[in-house]
A = this chain, B = another copy of it.
Amino acid sequence: MAYSHFVAKQRNQAEDAPWQSEQALLRRIRSRAGTAGGGALRVGIGDDCAVLRPRPGEELAVTTDLSIAGRHFRIEWHSPESIGHRTLVRGLSDLAAMGARPLTAFLSLGLPRTLTLQGQRGSAAWMSRFFDGLLRLAKAHRVQLAGGDLAESPLAVADIVLVGAVPRGRALLRSGARPGDLLYLTGALGAAAAGFRRLARLKGNVPAKIHGALGAHLFPQPRVAQGEWLRRRGLATAAIDVSDGLSTDLAHVCEESGVAAEVEADALPIDREATLEQALHGGEDYELLFAAGPSARLPRFIAGVPVTRIGRVVKPKPGRPPVALITGHGSRSLRAHGWEHFA
């Protein structure tokens, strides 16, 4: 970990940036990093590595997600707060899919020089607002920013690493689904894709009051509490987060579990602003898709979020795509075809 690297490098590049202000930058990040993490963090920002002390009987879940300007966000459309939030949500959602309790985050951030400068005339700097968005979500989920790296980069890139804790041998995996299991989904699908279309039409002129699909795209909520609930109850045989789209992520579960799946189109919880295509392939909804045995009794809501049964797990057929969509007109194969916003 090397926020200190950044300090060294900036010093050489900018004769006009005094040592004092760079030290101040590092101090600001350190002071804002918080002190959550449930006491697991023994050494935080300021050394070569962070040191984590797991509780006895716990394993650690680790995930990393890379966000790149022009692919995962657009500087000219997304607010800095939204980009910070969206950077962190990708990692938190991976932890949710394992049923892990978030502990610490690490952020590697490459930014053009223009985005690291102090704001003019009292306006908050881009980087400060980025951390506002990231740290607000971190606080809501009791995650401590424990380190990372900073570098100047012609292209804005952010790689987020999340470390979570899970009782030994109890992580929810993609690989446990069995024929006969039923498939469930938290929340609704397609909102993030519909919200992105709206953002594109607005060309970034986002209204002050954000709601509906636009809100779901700009500030999606990871299903951390729902994942932990499923892990504690031991009901789910397999789980994944729907970050790449239902068709893609369900195919991953099928591949890792060695099964196939049938999805009932009429059962899908589709956001009111979204189309069926956006629900099937949209991605970035960060809902949890999970399988449970046929006798498992799932509540209608988990931690305030609705749960819907959307299909079933079946035996795979050789040479056939693993996921089928059942409609009023019969069955058709559902090709994995995740939505790619910026392609």
Chain A residues near B (Cβ < 8 Å): 1-2, 4-5, 8-9, 11-13, 19, 42-43, 46-54, 56, 59-66, 68, 70-72, 94-95, 97-98, 100, 104, 106-110, 146-155, 157, 159, 161-164, 166, 168-169, 171, 173-175, 240-241, 243-245, 248, 252, 256, 283, 336-340, 343
CB pair A63 B13 closer than 8 Å: no
CB pair B163 A46 closer than 8 Å: no
CB pair A47 B11 closer than 8 Å: no
Given known A-B contacts A2-B243, A64-B161, A110-B157, A46 and B340 have beta carbons under 8 A apart: no
Q: Which residues of chain B are within 8 angstroms of A1 by Cβ–Cβ distance?
A: 62-65, 94
A-B contact pairs, 24 of them (CB 8 A): A1-B65, A5-B65, A8-B248, A8-B336, A9-B340, A9-B343, A12-B343, A43-B173, A47-B98, A47-B173, A48-B94, A50-B61, A51-B59, A51-B98, A52-B59, A52-B61, A56-B56, A62-B106, A62-B147, A64-B148, A66-B149, A108-B159, A153-B155, A157-B157
Q: Which of B8, B42, B46, B62 makes the CB contact (< 8 A) with A50?
A: B62
Q: Which residues of chain B are within 8 angstroms of A168 by Cβ–Cβ distance?
A: 53
Q: Which of B66, B98, B100 makes the CB contact (< 8 A) with A108?
A: B66
Q: Which of B2, B60, B64, B241 makes the CB contact (< 8 A) with A65?
A: B2
CB pair B338 A12 closer than 8 Å: yes
CB pair B95 A49 closer than 8 Å: yes
CB pair B151 A154 closer than 8 Å: no
Q: Which residues of chain B are within 8 angstroms of A60 by Cβ–Cβ distance?
A: 51-54, 60
- Assembly CA distance A270 to B336 (angstroms): 57
Q: Which residues of chain B are within 8 angstroms of A146 by Cβ–Cβ distance?
A: 62
Q: Which residues of chain B are within 8 angstroms of A56 by Cβ–Cβ distance?
A: 56
- Assembly CA distance A100 to B107 (angstroms): 21
Separation in Å of the A95 CB from the closest CB of chain B? 6
Q: Which residues of chain B are within 8 angstroms of A339 by Cβ–Cβ distance?
A: 12
CB pair B12 A340 closer than 8 Å: yes
Separation in Å of the A89 CB from the closest CB of chain B? 13
CB pair A98 B49 closer than 8 Å: yes
Q: Which residues of chain B are within 8 angstroms of A47 by Cβ–Cβ distance?
A: 98, 173-175, 256
Q: Which residues of chain B are within 8 angstroms of A97 by Cβ–Cβ distance?
A: 48-49
CB pair A157 B166 closer than 8 Å: no
CB pair A53 B59 closer than 8 Å: yes
Separation in Å of the A15 CB from the closest CB of chain B? 11
CB pair A153 B157 closer than 8 Å: yes
Separation in Å of the A12 CB from the closest CB of chain B? 4
Closest to A245 in B: B8
CB pair A2 B151 closer than 8 Å: no
CB pair A252 B149 closer than 8 Å: no
CB pair A49 B94 closer than 8 Å: yes
Q: Which residues of chain B are within 8 angstroms of A245 by Cβ–Cβ distance?
A: 8
Separation in Å of the A230 CB from the closest CB of chain B? 13
